Structure 1
Amino acid sequence: MAGLFGSGSATAANTLGDLSKDIQLNNGPEDSISHISFSPQSDHLAVASWDKKVRIYEVNAQGGEGKALFEHEGPVLSCDWSKDGTKVCGGGADKAARMLDLGSGGTTATQVAVHDAPIRCVRFFDAPGSAAPMLVTGSWDKTVKYWDLRTANAVATINCQERVYTMDVKDNLLVIGTADRYINVVNLTKPTEFYKTLQSPLKWQTRVVACFKDAQGFGVGSIEGRCAMQYVEEKDASLNFSFKCHRDPPQGNMTNVYAVNAISFHPIHGTFSTAGSDGTFHFWDKDAKHRLKGYPTTGGSITTTGFNHTGTVFAYAVSYDWSKGYSQNTPQYPNKVMMHQIVNDECKPRPTIKKR
């Protein structure tokens, strides 16, 4: 079912979105932006970057206001909020995860996790059957570790086949994407075992995984301008599909393809966005297999995206993603976080037409 959505180039006028009213976040990071994360409780945004900092902003129509920051000893590769919106965690190249407790008025982050290699992903989750917030970390040391924030040592470790490149959590679903295209699915009611392991349905390196809003499956994006929608259970296997996106129109027998760097699911509608090295983002309806909106290029690669908790704001970071090597990383390359107001039906699912 590849190619259902077409090439991803915005052609029809009714699917071409408008960027003219997008607002830049004030006082953004000084180096490439690796990850952004909205609070699940309020319009606060955490921004992790290669300048070794996690910054926390209150987002508003004037471009946002910086509220707090904390530092790592190396580039920060991931950040996340606790479910109650009181804590922010970062994970980075210093092999540590550090947490700032905003609920207690803290101004200094404490180290809450450690690995033998850089931490690529951090995610909060609530332990099944318990209200206790826990942290799961994925590292280039080929392990995933679980942390009870009240104790210093990991409470459990899973050994993966390869380095962890991407990870996401929704409810009891944990999805881990590693090098060599392995994808591990974990049911958090049994956190120390793989519920399922598969090779990515895409033929090239995995860049991102993201859980569906209903935790029934996940999206996968690769370096080769493709996405896949994958359901966890075999009974839903007929719903799995992949499609092309983030590609230039073919020129003769040549097509420029770009990495899909980010997939974000809308918290209300369950539709999703993709964003990539081509500097564009698009909104899609996976159930109708339909592209809702495509947007013009933002002038630089989009490295990370996210919706706020009400689904009214879509944030995206325009930043160098190293897809063209070090020589293209010039001081003139844009480095900014933008806020896009969701208007009208941009992210609403396509109405289904019932057959008589």
Structure 2
Amino acid sequence: MAPFSILDLSPVIEGGTVAQSLANSRQLAQEAEKEGYQRFWLAEHHGMRGIASAATALVIQHVAAGTETIRVGSGGIMLPNHSPLVIAEQFGTLEALFPGRIDLGLGRAPGTDMNTARALRRNLETSANNFPQDVVDLMALMGPVQPGQQIVAVPGADSNVPVWLLGSSHYSAHLAGMLGLPFAFASHFAPDMLLSALEIYRERFTPSQYLDKPHVMVGVMGVAADTDAEAQHLFTSMQQSFVTLRRGAPTVFPPPVESMDGLWSETEKIMVDHTLQYAVVGGPDTIRDQIAGFLETTKADELIISMPVYHMEARLKSVRLFAEAQRTLAGAASAGSGASGHAVP
């Protein structure tokens, strides 16, 4: 049975503060660790009032310092925003502080609007085009120092932090397969190319020193509660957030509402429903059935869940209910075949 992980954006809620958001992320990770989740990843976004994880490596350190066993990493670092050497030093430092617990997921999108992206990058077009070479250079900087190597990451060299490629299209599927890296697809907000990207990745996969066979993680938005109605109510926060994002006016994370009527147009409703078509929202029986169907369709090796819930206690409860669903599904599958035969940290 696929292990579950959590993707967190340190949401800044309406009426809340960045400090509170970062404290909530640590508390969420502690709950996830207690419930047996595999990973807790944080995402790099910039210029968004409702997201506090822009300085992603710092937030990873904050979360890892408050936990003991769960893997903590990036979902992801937007590599074109940075030089490979800087990321090698940052994640080499994290690996030195928290040995064997750090993941480095990499994406090539800006994680922001184009004006902010230009402020982050010295050359926007060149940075994006250099992504494949930057990935290779970064992995080399985190690997063993080679004879004659002129640039050495300190810390970073020989840290061997596991690298994942993240994607929402075919591009990273091709690259992850070519490099023999694990691949995570952002189906929680980009559903259209999910199945074709996974097919490309698996077909094009080349065994490497990092991985001997394809390994796929898929993302979903998830809200679990005692009843379907309660979960749908809590999910209106995410629906409102997507509407304001698509209008080009993202704001802090809003509280749930009794109804979305009047808050979106019919066109916006269709767009949001399409974007969030893989969202897992409901009570215990509903989320279990939806997850089972999604994993059967994707044949994913791992599932990573973003839990957009306004109230912290409800968010923690959602973490517990998804963990219960995973244990139930794992128990049902325990009589089947054994391990997959390949290990991803």
TM-score by length of 1: 0.30
> Would you tell me which structure has more strand in proportion to its own residues?
1
Structure (1/2) with the larger helix percentage: 2
